[in-house]
Amino acid sequence: MMDVRAPVEFIKGAFPNSQNIPLLDDLQRQMIGTQYKEQGQDQAIKLGNELATPLIREQRLAAWKAFTETHPDGVLYCFRGGLRSKVTQQWLKESGINYPFIEGGYKAMRTFLLEQLKVSLNTMPLVLVSGRTASGKTHFLHKLSHYIDLEGRANHRGSSFGAMITPQPSQIDFENSISIDLLKQRHTHKQAVFMEDEGRLIGQLALPHEMLKAMGEQYPLVVLQTPMEERVVIAVQDYITDLYPHYQSTHGEQAHEIFSEKILFNLSRIQKRLGGELHKTLHGQLSEALSALAHGDEEGFAQPIGTLLEKYYDPMYDYQLSKRQGRVLMQAPKEELLEWAKNYQPKKDQ
């Protein structure tokens, strides 16, 4: 989809696979908006025509043509399917290209997705995959064909140390992606759809209220049981081995310093809950491990990560699970749970 809204609008929220090729830049949009409020629509249109110099028109058309050639079956949209869509379509038509726009624009699609999100949450047989931190829940989900990857959509691994090197999407983009994923699963699979059991926030992004409420009160869950030794290996792999090379490719010689600061800063964020002595011990152990990482040695992370799992994450998880034992369908190690999930058929009233 070709989004012809201004960049400032696109950043706040768009749709998966859409590309922003605006009719108006941010300044032009602001100028025309002010003119509309002060002088009315006719004067705003007049200003828009004045701003559309031959050079600007040529630049816009070149970008739009390139998009239509690459995506001949695509569509364009603005905020409400109004003037910007019609002007874009008209300019393209005058260049010999017929390209449809979405009636109602972004606003109509956003409203549709919010409505469908509620429908999906209330009608689909959703099952939560629970388990202690670093049990491998995301890896487990990816072995299924019928799942929703909330952390993938949030671009965050979910814990205090889960931030990725690339930024998270906007809240609106996150919600739109979830709704679209649920829609696809709703029309593709008749069996249960699995998704990871999450708290209110994944990084800086909040789960939709209806989803969080259903997770806490309604959906059944399964518990992935993973031994501590394996969980430590998974955590080191996810948070160190897989992540550090991205810092190296992005930050070059400064990668180690930036990565180390990030790890220790994340530890400081939970200092109050850890307590002074435990925080001090973990800070020292992680500092030593990070120093060794500069020489390619990751072994030092096992001890502090194991302590974090045992002393910090596990007690919190065990308390939360104790309040929902009545909804647990199955508790098992990975292979056994995977076989069960592939064959599970929900009850009709679920």
Mapped onto helix, strand or coil, the DSSP state of residue 218 is: coil
User: 263: buried, middle or exposed (CB in 10 Å: 19+, 13-18, 0-12)?
Assistant: buried
pLDDT higher than threshold 90 for residue 40: no
Within 10 angstroms of residue 6's Cβ, the number of other Cβ atoms is 23
The tens digit of pLDDT for each residue in 251-261 reads 999 999 999 99
Within 10 angstroms of residue 37's Cβ, the number of other Cβ atoms is 9
Fold for the domain defined by 124-343: Rossmann fold (3.40.50)
- Among 38-42, 141-145, 272-276, 279-283, where is mean pLDDT lowest? 38-42
Residues paired with residue 195 on neighbouring β-strands, in sequence order? 128, 148
Q: Which residues are catalytic?
A: 78
What angle, rounded to 10 degrees, do the helices at 83-94 and 54-70 form?
Answer: 80
pLDDT higher than threshold 80 for residue 190: no
Rounded-to-5 percentages of helix, strand, coil across the chain: 60, 10, 30
Residue ranges of the domains in the chain? Answer: 2-103, 124-343
Mapped onto helix, strand or coil, the DSSP state of residue 53 is: coil
Above pLDDT 70, what percent of the chain?
A: 99
Structural tokens at position 72: 């001949």
Q: What integer pLDDT is reported at residue 3 of this predicted model?
A: 97
Helix (H) or strand (E) run with residue 82 in it: none
The tens digit of pLDDT for each residue in 72-118 reads 999 999 999 988 999 999 999 999 999 999 999 999 999 999 999 99
Which amino acid is it at 33? G
Mapped onto helix, strand or coil, the DSSP state of residue 150 is: helix
- C-beta of residue 2 within 8 angstroms of C-beta of residue 76: yes
Within 10 angstroms of residue 166's Cβ, the number of other Cβ atoms is 9
Within 10 angstroms of residue 350's Cβ, the number of other Cβ atoms is 13
Stated pTM of the model: 0.87
Q: What integer pLDDT is reported at residue 44 of this predicted model?
A: 84
What kind of architecture, by CATH, is found in domain 2-103?
A: 3-Layer(aba) Sandwich (3.40)
Mean pLDDT of 127-140: 95
